[in-house]
């Protein structure tokens, strides 16, 4: 398909600058990208028929690591 409709993982390294030039970096475009990523994560890990706590625990572990990274200087003193 056209370069602008491909996902990031389907773009070859040589096509990356052209693919980035077709991306929408406006606030509405960035918000749409975040929403698309969240929907994809939700459908893959949380909204499954036989799912366990893996999706939510991955989200919680990511939050813990992120908050630890933000507060590292306060914790290390």
Q: Write the pLDDT tens digit of every residue in 45-68.
A: 888 777 678 778 888 999 999 999
Q: Are 3 and 15 in contact (CB under 8 A)?
A: yes
CA distances from 21 to 34, 63, 75 (A): 18, 31, 41
* Predicted structure pTM score: 0.55
Averaged pLDDT of the chain: 86
How much is the pLDDT for 72? 82
Sequence-distant (6+) residues with CB within 8 A of 39 are none
In whole angstroms, what is the distance from residue 39 CA to residue 64 CA?
A: 21
**With bands split at pLDDT 50, 70 and 90, how would you rate the model's confidence at 31?**
very high
């Amino acid at each position: 398909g056209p370069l602008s409709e491909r996902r990031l993982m389907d773009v070859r390294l040589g096509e990356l600058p052209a693919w980035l030039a077709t991306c929408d970096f406006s606030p509405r475009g960035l918000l749409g990208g975040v929403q698309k990523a969240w929907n994809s994560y939700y459908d893959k890990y949380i909204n499954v028929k036989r799912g366990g706590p893996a999706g939510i625990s991955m989200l919680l572990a990511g939050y813990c690591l992120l908050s630890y990274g933000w507060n590292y200087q306060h914790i290390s003193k």
